[in-house]
Chain A
Amino acid sequence: MVLLWLLIVPLVASPLAFFLRRRAVMERVNLVAFAVLSCLGAILTAQVLRRGSVSFWNGFFYADALSALVVLLTSFVSLVCSIYAVGYFRQDEKSGVFQEKSELQPLLVVPKLREYYSLTPLFVFSMVLVALANNLGILWVAIEGTTLASVFLVMFYGRETSLEAAWKYAIIGGVGLSMALFGTLLTYYSAHRVIGTDTLSGLNWSVLVGNAVQFDKPTMRLAFILILLGYGTKAGIAPMHTWKPDAYSEAPIPAAAMLAAGVLNCALYGLVRFYILTSRCLGPEFASHLLILFGLLSMAVAVPFILVQKNFRRMLAYSSIDHSGIMVLALGFGGPLGVLGMLLHMTFHSITKPLLFFCAGNVQQHLKTELFREAKGGLVHSMPLTGAAFLMVTVAVTGAPPFSLFLSEFTILRAGFSGGHFALAILFVTFLVAIFSGFLIHIANLVLGSDPGLPPGETCRWKKFSIVGLASVIILIGFWIPAPLFRLIQGAADLVTGAR
């Protein structure tokens, strides 16, 4: 039942926000909806921890530890983002971003906000659906849904550049997802002689996973390749990552944060589902070789762009490319440690990433630029809180202790060693160090420095609150992890490795 509510809440929130066209109301609708969603996520977690798996409509909707984790993270991210969004858009409105004549037509405030506040719930809905759909076809449909819902968010500001970004996002995403669909099709084909096609449940993951062993092997190989490329595109794995910097730097901050911390998980979730089938059918080697290749490639691609980056919004995108690379690599390393590391990383990444976007958003709104060159440093004088948080989260997101991402990266490294990939592990650490250096150098030069004499920039209470709150969560999670959460992650890991 809770599954149904998880889907209904955002689905209702969207039209509500659309028709109650007053700003304050729309804000409240979003906040309430996502708060409720988070509670439901917690409840789902509790149920899953108790019963192992929850299903509804004879297994059309199905939630195990893995899906519960993704739902929990999605709801958390959407809640945090909705809190920040309030302050963010108020500031936009104050500084008259909407009024200024854009290339198309003078954008009116309310319609724009309406666009955001009614699309976001749909966006979240499709993300939740991704996690809850048992049928792999529906899974695909839902992921396609996230693209469609977010295209308009990407071109929210209606600049030429945002149109360009939206176009690249849509086309590359569309192509990628059609590959994923092909992969799904082939999986269905390789399974259909075992299960039979006519039944509706013929694509249900919970059914497929049982007898994945008897699937048709060559078909499965091709299927996994296509799935990897397809969902990899959505997760932004190199060389399918190219849409990311554009989309992330053009979308409004809360939407970008959701893309980075929410959609990423969904895409990887789909990948993991198929990885389970593939490794059951073909054994782990075939999949893990490909995964390691693409993971390292993504990290390698991210490094130079972070080292010589001019634009801090784009820099965040490359960081998320790097992180999806890390997770894919972890999955490739495999073994209980590798999978655990990947899921830990997914969790910690989704908790940490939004703050990075929020800080960047504050800076951008305050300085009216997203180029380091024009920012001229000394930020800490005009926005001490944001500056400090920015430095902190930079360190946190690049996986330095005492922050939580260090735990996951340490686990992944150990997985690499126990998998016997010594050289790869060294490469992994080298990339991590390089990315840390590049990131910190840029951000430190942005935050520190002599006072450029700007007016104090931290006025909005909502933004302050979201930043302080999230920062304290990040610090806390670095030192201590709630036992249920870890049990959930562990459960998901066992699911993937087939230990349970």
Chain B
Amino acid sequence: MHLLQDAAFGDRIITLMAALVLVLQIAAVGQRWIVSSIRIFAVQSFLLAAIAGIIAYFNHANHIYVAAFLTLVIKAGLLPWLLEGLVEKIRIRREIEPLINAPLSILISGCLTLVGYVVASSFYHPEETAGRAALGHNTLAVAVALFLIGFFTILNRRKALTQVLGLLSLENGLFLAAISLTYGMPLVVELGIFFDVLVGVLVLGILVFRIREAFDSMDVSKLRKLRE
């Protein structure tokens, strides 16, 4: 019972989950099947929601519950569902070779994780580690790494859809950073951001659909008509 009041315990849990998130992200880098990378994203989002929930629970910050809930619904539920629907519609399941082959990509994401740690440590404030207010602070590195790796995924993948997935996991990184640094933004902002993400994915989805129809493939590296 007392375990559930111990900030240190929560902190460990959060760290563990964050590590999981990172692992998932790196796994997604090597992933070939679109559907499974969508699922990976869903799980990742679920973990994030959980982290958010734990932070909210441990320092009684109610508005983070909202954020957690939204993440759960939109990112772990709605978006994966939409995307899988899209995959069904356009019947393209398998990602063709990424620009950089899997082992090398994974190596690079390792390096990016390192960069994440360097960046995070540059404004890491040890005096804040004590006490419950500091919950999840050392997940920041994971967040930055998540961001960078997501970015890397976008420029590494050929398929329009996987680029969208990369964009989403990059957003996840931001979310993790947000909750772990400042326990989220003001609620209005959170709502706005979620709304934007939703609309953005819809727009991109429509785009993907049209591209599929126009070029009967989703390979964006074929989009090279506009050039000097």
Contacts and interface: CB of A to CB of B under 8 A. Distances in A.
Q: Touching in the complex, A and B, CB below 8 A?
A: yes
Interface of A: 103-104, 135, 137-138, 140-141, 144-145, 148, 151-152, 155, 158, 160-161, 163-168, 170-171, 174-175, 178, 181-182, 185-186, 188-190, 192, 197, 199-200, 202-203, 216, 218-219, 222, 245-246, 249-250, 305, 310, 314
Nearest to B128: A193
Interface of B: 119, 122-123, 125, 147, 151, 154, 160, 163, 167, 170-171, 174, 177-178, 181-183, 185-189, 192-193, 195-196, 199-200, 203-204, 207, 210-211, 213-215, 220, 223-226, 228
A167 B203 CA distance: 10
A305 B210 CA distance: 31
A163 B207 contact: yes
Contacts of B226: 161, 164-165, 168, 245-246, 249-250
Contacts of B154: 171, 175
9 contacts: A141-B192, A141-B195, A148-B203, A152-B203, A155-B207, A164-B224, A189-B182, A216-B123, A249-B226
Contact of A144 (B185, B196, B224): B196
Contacts of B199: 148
A182 to B, nearest CB: 6
Contacts of B151: 175
B220 A188 contact: no
Nearest to A143: B196
Contacts of B207: 151, 155, 163, 166-167, 170
B204 A141 contact: no
B189 A137 contact: yes
Contacts, number: 127
Given A164-B225, A168-B223, A222-B123, A141 B193 contact: yes
Given A170-B203, A175-B167, A246-B226, A181 B193 contact: yes
A228 B147 CA distance: 17
A140 B170 CA distance: 16
A222 B122 contact: yes
* B123, B200, B211, B226 interface centre (most CB from chain A within 10 Å): B226
B174 A222 contact: no
Given A178-B171, A200-B187, 17 more contacts: A103-B214, A135-B186, A137-B192, A141-B196, A151-B203, A158-B210, A160-B225, A163-B207, A164-B226, A166-B207, A167-B223, A171-B167, A175-B167, A178-B147, A189-B123, A218-B123, A219-B123
A135 B188 contact: yes
Contacts of A155: 207, 210
Given A165-B226, A185-B182, A104 B210 contact: yes
Given A164-B223, A175-B151, A181-B174, A138 B188 contact: yes
A178 B174 contact: yes
Contacts of A314: 228
Nearest to B184: A197
Nearest to A102: B214
A304 to B, nearest CB: 9
Nearest to B195: A141
A158 B151 CA distance: 28
Contacts of A246: 226
Contacts of B119: 222
Given A104-B213, A160-B225, A178-B170, A138 B122 contact: no
A59 to B, nearest CB: 13
Contacts of A138: 188-189, 192
Given A163-B214, A188-B182, A203 B189 contact: yes
Given A148-B196, A155-B210, A222-B119, A185 B203 contact: no
A315 to B, nearest CB: 11
A158 B167 CA distance: 24
Contacts of A148: 196, 199-200, 203
Contacts of A103: 213-214
Most A CB contacts (10 A, CB to CB) among B160, B187, B223 go to B223
Contacts of B125: 216
A192 B181 CA distance: 10
Given A148-B196, A175-B154, A185 B213 contact: no
A16 to B, nearest CB: 21
A137 B188 contact: yes
A141 B123 contact: no
B163 to A, nearest CB: 6
A152 B204 CA distance: 10
